[in-house]
Structure 1
Amino acid sequence: MTALSSRGRVLVVLVATVLLAGVAVGYVRWSAQSAKGAPVPVGEMATGARLQVLSNGRLSTLARSDPGGPRSVGALECDRAYAAADTVVCLTPVGVLGTTRMVVLDAGLHERRSVPLAGFPNRTRVSASGRMVAWTLFVGGHSYAAGGFATQTGILDTRTGGLVESLEGFAVVRDGRPYRAADLNFWGVTFARDDNRFYATMSTDGRRYLVEGDLAARTVRTVAENVECPSLSPDGTRIAFKQAVDGDPAKGWRLSVLDLASMRVTNSAERRSVDDQAAWLDGGTLGYALQRSDGVNDIWAVSADGGGEPRLLVPEANSPAAVD
């Protein structure tokens, strides 16, 4: 046998090995995808009411009428995402030295603006008009249940380019009186329809408050205690939130709804601990992520009126947002 034919045989074996490995990887990927609804290329999803989700960290959409069905899975990777009107926001995975990018895209996923940030992605929201974008990052600690955590929450006006780097620069009114403290933390912004008012969580002195903010005035005022990660209903009358059990985050959180007119709280039928900023999928349904024991997230849905039972909506996904 010549030296040339020996090299040729080795090459054939190597090529065959690579091809077989590719087939095996493809089969594994196909098997995993088929278990949760086979993905389809971006742009081939039927038009109409859709859900935007993160599917294994990738920005994806699916039909709201068939949430367990095929997904349009894109290439953009996000740690948190949200969408409203023609605006999509993506908090990119953490890079070296804890760096994150907040990326604003249009409905076609073309980048419009990018803001460099430092910290670990936690929450993000877009106002109903698509104009305002908010984000929260952990800059110290990685859990609201642990002591010593610190957050940074900012807001971007996509129309004017105005940027609020941190809500900690806003004037605070607590219980009707001006308040200043070095331990202020804010997280979980949700916008009113006028694109000026917003709600968020503020913590200080070991207590957590729902605050109502005024962007133009650069002020926030406390509204209620033990209200975290608020999400304003489409009609602006109710706030879905997570409520610390017995006021102690170490005991977990109960997904609940606050009526802003009566200040009455209704607990949802979801009794598991929900550490998420729930999304209103419509006027009466909340969507939220729950992590399984294997570390994978699933999206669940429950009625906002306290009735019914929680139901699995989208397996192996998180960051739900209803889009049309």
Structure 2
Amino acid sequence: MSTAARWRILVVAFAALTAVAVTYTLYAAGRTDARDKARPGGPAIAAGTFDLSGRRQILFRNMAWGPHRDHLASVPLGGTGGPRTAMPLRCYKFHTSGGTGVCVQAKRGPVKTFSVLILDSRLREIRRYAAGGGPSRTRVSPSGRMVAWTVFVSGDSYAGVNFSTRTAILDTRTWKLHSNMERFRVIKDGKPYRSVDVNFWGVTFADDDLFYATLATKGKTYLVRGNVSTRTVRTLRENAECPSLSPDGTRIAFKHRVKGDMSALPWRLHVLDLRTMTETATAETRPLDDQVSWLDDRTLMYAIPAEYESDQYRVPADGTGSPALVMKAAQVPAVLP
């Protein structure tokens, strides 16, 4: 084949590849435009402002398709099915308490990266930290002083075994950062314990020192109680993941892994009474993967997979009643009581 012929083939091939690239770009842009349009039947959303000083509000990540998808939104506690207000702030994960907020944001590019933003009561950024992985859980202590976040270092689900997490705890008064809870001392079954496969996730704070979390090692998970001041955790119970402490500090809601369930969501929602160590299954029998919220001392709120990725439901914490829809197209809610 002559040199001229080779060049003609190269030119034609390059033109074809360019046409494919342009076509795909236009197609992707069209998909983006479609995704940015609100779908009929979705919740009513309007741009607006709010802060962390409000009362009887739920703040959450809006999941409805449209220009406000992934934005931080707010609804009245007594009107969760009504119109919602959305701010420009985008948060993959969010939590707030005591006038402090934590928001995990994504930066898109060849490789998506995430940052942890610490927010003041007016939702203004105070500090920013590299997340170091895909976002999983966030929590703020009742006073607003302590903030915790968990990321996936590898893998993106708790259902399997091929994942690794990293959990950090930050003091927003001194700005001391415990960047990896795996450096904390572990007391397992009353004895010091060390293992290279230890993972922590799902911190929930009782106060600015005492917290609860999940410890995983050797294929098992444990509810642990820890102290930031001593950098120590102690196992309390097996098979308890993503704990969430009740407002009165007496019970913990958590994911209980169902034995033999090999599905993507092998968990059911249970509640542990910390005074009696009695475990109660709630009336919610559908599988879930969430670090639940407490609407009040008697009622849990949690995500169930749905059309817009997840809807929020409520159920009594004492095992009675039945699940009821709180709001559609919402994730990571935080209650301002």
Shorter-chain TM range is 0.7 to 0.9
The 8 Å contact of residues 227 and 243 in structure 1, kept in 2 or not, is answered as: yes
- Are 1:37 and 2:50 matched, yes or no? no
Give the equivalent residue in structure 1 for 2:282. 268
Give the equivalent residue in structure 2 for 1:106. 120
SS at match of 2:106: coil
Structural RMSD (CA): 2.4
- Equivalent position to 1:183, from 180, 197, 215: 197
Instruction: From the superposition, tell whether residues 264 and 225 of structure 1 become closer, same or farther in structure 2 (CA, over 3 Å).
Output: same
Give the equivalent residue in structure 2 for 1:236. 249
The CA deviation at 1:289 is 1.1
For each residue in 1:240-290, what CA deviation from the matched residue of structure 2 results, as whole angstroms up to 9, or x when unmatched? 000001275646111010001111011111101110000111111111111
Give the equivalent residue in structure 2 for 1:161. 175
- Equivalent position to 1:223, from 236, 244, 262: 236
- Are 1:171 and 2:185 matched, yes or no? yes
Instruction: From the superposition, tell whether residues 156 and 280 of structure 1 become closer, same or farther in structure 2 (CA, over 3 Å).
Output: same
The 8 Å contact of residues 195 and 217 in structure 2, kept in 1 or not, is answered as: yes
SS at match of 2:49: coil
For each residue in 1:170-195, what CA deviation from the matched residue of structure 2 results, as whole angstroms up to 9, or x when unmatched? 011100000000000000000012x1
Give the equivalent residue in structure 1 for 2:311. 298
Once residues 95 and 164 of structure 1 are traced to their aligned partners in structure 2, the CA distance between those partners, rounded to angstroms, is 27
SS at match of 1:273: coil
Identity over aligned pairs, percent: 45
| TM-score normalized by the length of structure 1 | 0.86
Give the equivalent residue in structure 1 for 2:59. 52
SS at match of 1:92: strand
- Are 1:314 and 2:327 matched, yes or no? yes
The CA deviation at 1:35 is 3.0
Once residues 268 and 56 of structure 2 are traced to their aligned partners in structure 1, the CA distance between those partners, rounded to angstroms, is 29
- Are 1:134 and 2:148 matched, yes or no? yes
Q: Any stretches of 5+ residues in structure 1 without a counterpart?
A: 1-24
Pairing of 1:246-261 with structure 2 (within 5 A): 246=259, 250=263, 252-261=266-275
Once residues 247 and 188 of structure 1 are traced to their aligned partners in structure 2, the CA distance between those partners, rounded to angstroms, is 23
For each residue in 1:8-52, what CA deviation from the matched residue of structure 2 results, as whole angstroms up to 9, or x when unmatched? xxxxxxxxxxxxxxxxx9999785387313335124999531001
Instruction: From the superposition, tell whether residues 199 and 27 of structure 1 become closer, same or farther in structure 2 (CA, over 3 Å).
Output: closer
| TM-score normalized by the length of structure 2 | 0.83
Which piece of structure 1 moves more, 33-42 or 275-284? 33-42
Give the equivalent residue in structure 2 for 1:4. none
Give the equivalent residue in structure 2 for 1:61. 74
The 8 Å contact of residues 51 and 121 in structure 2, kept in 1 or not, is answered as: no
